[in-house]
Amino acid sequence: MSNWSVNHALARCAEIDGADSTIALRSVLALDTDAVARTAAVEENDGLLRGIPVLVKDNIEALGLPCTAGSFALHGVPVRADSTVAARLRRAGAVIIGAANLSEWANIRSTGSSSGWSAVGGLVGNPWALNHSAGGSSSGSGAAVAAGIVPMAVGTETDGSITCPAALNGVVGIKPTVGSIPTDGIVPVSGSQDTPGPLARTVDEAERMLAVLTDDVALLSRSQSVDVSSLSVGVVDAWRTGHAETDALFDEALQHVRKIADGVSASHMIATSDEVHNDEFTVLVHELRSDLDNYLAGRAVSGAPSSVQEVIEFNRANADKELQHFGQEIFEMAAQSNGRTAQEYVAARKRNLEWVQQHLDGALAAHHVLIAPAYMPAWKTDFASGHPPAGGAVTTPAAIAGLPIVTIPMGLVAGLPVALSLVAAKNSEAMLIALAKSLENSLGLVRDTDWRPRFARSAPL
């Protein structure tokens, strides 16, 4: 990372990202002109990321940046202070040059949303094929890293929002154990499932950022001490994407896994049923009401929305900007709910946890790590039809249980990157990172000079 500089990042951003550039990637929503000074002002700088330019998703509070969650409802509402995430990055010497664009409100406003679009930031393009999705909801974080604007960025995940953009943009994503990184100053969806985490070009870089975000530098040495050859890896066929070329490439990647780990066999983990998905949705809707209401009330200034209901009313009054592509029916459901006090919420969360305890815990009792393909190749963005089914079966069980996921590229399908994901028990990041490093090295993609996006206008799908 020594070749990275703030000036390089800003020049790269101007070249490919702004609306006036020839590419207009729109991965960066805002820049902080005082970013270098803010890092220099930190008294005790431990230097783990010294001088490295980074982005934080625009739902994370950082001084000098807007933290709008992509919505004009929060446009101009000042942040209160650096979140713990921002403070830890600065303490490590990182320079937070800007806020990454995202799927507005982290993709929780509407069931018909198009990943990567926000009213404030516009539509993030995929640097491999600009008319294809950059994934949701940490779309700008993934696209900016893939495009070479910054070597690493912070995203957030509730269910798939780091894993998906990592996969679709051909970068590494780590969704850590829920609770291992504080979420103060982060616009919430679900307190039981939300977590920030790194997206980066390589596993090593993602690990370094994770060590900073978790305030756990010992992670770097713990991962080095893992004997990956002794790991038992369970292949979860129930989490395959259903996309023939992606799943075939995953089978090829498994040959590399078998060279690394001695115990690779089929897992008995079952598919996630509609009932489980429905319960998770109920949980998210109700936690959104309670958690976002609390956040908005704590940040609100005169004239700014202080509840989900007031955001709904703002959007209706500004429908030309906010509701031009899709609605806000999830927000409306949340506003009509009783939040965490509702009996249906309590029952749904209980059923979700019982399901993962019965099935996911059992699968992890048989294998140290579970492995599956992440998502199909990036789809063409279509505001009329929204987000299509695209795989991602690996994310929901881990989301409900709060487990870590590491996602790394495994190759190209029709010129677009696809990835595999590794899942393990809580606080098993060191083990996952060790296996991911070995697999990344065996696959050889990140050191391949051809593993770079070409900013094509379209892909031959």
- Give the H/E segment covering residue 157: strand 152-157
- Catalytic-labelled residue, pool 137, 141, 223, 307: 137
> Following DSSP, what letter does each residue of 326-368 receive, concatenated?
---HHHHHHHHS-GGG-HHHHHHHHHHHHHHHHHHHHHHHH-S
Is the backbone peptide bond immediately before 137 cis, with ω within 30 degrees of 0? yes
- 57: annotated active-site residue: yes
- 175: annotated active-site residue: no
First-residue to last-residue Cα distance in the chain: 34
Q: Which of 15, 91, 16, 18 is nearest to 54 (CA)?
A: 91
Beta strands in 224-307 (DSSP E): 232-235, 263-266
- Catalytic-labelled residue, pool 114, 133, 161, 421: 161
Q: Under a CB-based contact definition with an 8 Å cutoff, are residues 118 and 101 in contact?
A: yes
Phi, psi of 458 (to 5 degrees): -155, 170
Query: Cα(1)–Cα(8) distance, rounded to whole angstroms?
Result: 12
Q: Which of 206, 208, 232 is nearest to 221 (CA)?
A: 208
Tokens of 15: 């070249």
- 426: annotated active-site residue: no
> Who contacts 14 (Cβ-Cβ below 8 Å, separation ≥6)?
21
| DSSP letter (8 states) at residue 391 | B
Active site residues: 57, 137, 161
